[in-house]
Amino acid sequence: MTLASTATTGAPSGQRPQLVIDKVFKQFGVGPGAVTAVDHVSFDVKPGEFVSVIGPSGCGKSTLFNIIGGLLDEYEGDVLIERERIAGPHKAVGMVFQEESTFPWRNVIDNVAFPLELQGVNKSERLDRAHHFIDLVGLKGFERLMPSALSGGMRQRVSIARTLVSQPQILLMDEPFAALDEQTRLLLGDKITQIQQDLNQTTLLITHNLTEAVQLSDRIVVMTYRPGKVKRIVDIDLPRPRSSDVVSSDAFGHYVAEIWADLREEASRGMADSESARRGGSRG
């Protein structure tokens, strides 16, 4: 590999960041019932870098995802793409959502080809490119089925293919693998890293899965449980090109243990919180 020297440490560290999240703050509601979902979160992502944001359920990850994607307007702080503050969804960004988001009235191939249809790509090229990404997410042979005939994990893979098909420069994904079993998750992770490396795609992955984050990322942003702040940013110095085999290495285990220590603290705070809320609820 010609880029071996830079590839071993992930993205070249001297580069100007492509995506900057600067003191982003978001509160839902007002007064005593207000929930601070994202509390002055700052980090940046360099071109071609793969960054994961990890944190316990309810810590504000999806809120942050929606802000970066330009879907939520009312927040404090700045999100910059190529040094410009975003105003609404940015054309360089492709998003994969946490919830099921296939179009139930389109079959698999028409779902995946949808963004190309919007771009006015002609039909034969559209179908060619859609086929390529359907194959990549392991759904070859299912092209003509409607989403209702697929499993939850298969539908999620359709949405991933639909976002990848337009080859966005910046890829935002909110727990895209949550509905998948561990094996499919690892293999699909390989495919995603491969495309990401081939296209030098800047990727921000939201997840609550620790092994997935370490397997895929150059850096991991660990968030605290409410209010969602950045607890720590960990560089993952595992060699690239990387495959799912990396999960059996010592270095991998070391990173997982290190981040788990941070995460456990936050997750147990989250659990205690919801338990006391439940007790409070049943008493009142």
Partner 1 sequence: MASPSFSQSRAFPILLGASTFIGAFVALEVLLRYGVVNKYVVPLPSQVLMSLERIVVEENIVGRMRDTAWEMFVSCIAVIVLGVPMGALLYRWQPLRRALLDWVAALAAAPLVLAFPLFLVIFGRSATTVIVMSVITGLAPIVIKTTEGLLGVRSVLINVGRSLKMTDAQMLRMILLPAALPVIFSGIRLSWTFVLISVVGIEFLINLGGLGQLINDLAERYDLPGTYGAIGFVILVSVIFFMLLERVESWLRPAR
By CB under 8 A, name the binding residues for partner 1.
66, 69-71, 88-89, 91, 93-95, 97, 99-101, 103-105, 107, 114-115, 118, 146-148
Contact letters for Mg ion, residues 94-123 (x by CB under 5 A): ----x-------------------------
Task: Tell me which of Mg ion, partner 1, ligand ATP, none is bound by residue 71, counting a contact when its beta carbon lies within the kind-specific cut-off of 5 to 8 angstroms.
Answer: partner 1
Question: Half-sphere exposure of residue 96, counting CA atoms within 13 Å on the CB side?
Answer: 30
Q: Is 168 helix (H, G, I), strand (E, B) or coil?
A: coil
Q: Is 154 helix (H, G, I), strand (E, B) or coil?
A: helix
Q: Of 41 and 121, which CB lies nearer to ligand ATP in the complex structure?
A: 41
Distance CA 261, CA 242 (A): 24
Q: Of 116 and 205, which CB lies nearer to ligand ATP in the complex structure?
A: 205
Task: Tell me which of partner 1, Mg ion, ligand ATP, none is bound by residue 103, counting a contact when its beta carbon lies within the kind-specific cut-off of 5 to 8 angstroms.
Answer: partner 1
Instruction: Please name every residue paired with 172 in a beta bridge, in sequence order, or none if there are none.
Output: 95, 204
61 C-beta neighbours (distance < 10 Å), count: 24
Task: Tell me which of partner 1, ligand ATP, Mg ion, none is bound by residue 167, counting a contact when its beta carbon lies within the kind-specific cut-off of 5 to 8 angstroms.
Answer: none
Q: Which residue is nearest to Mg ion (CB)?
A: 62
Please compute Rg for the chain using Cα positions: 19
Instruction: Provide, rounded to whole angstroms, the least separation between the CB of residue 100 and partner 1.
Output: 7
Q: What is the DSSP letter of 169?
A: S
Q: Of 170 and 246, which CB lies nearer to partner 1 in the complex structure?
A: 170
Distance CA 217, CA 53 (A): 10
Q: What is the DSSP letter of 113?
A: T
Task: Tell me which of Mg ion, partner 1, ligand ATP, none is bound by residue 88, counting a contact when its beta carbon lies within the kind-specific cut-off of 5 to 8 angstroms.
Answer: partner 1
Residue entry with tokens 């990727």: 203
Contact positions vs Mg ion (CB under 5 A): 61-62, 98
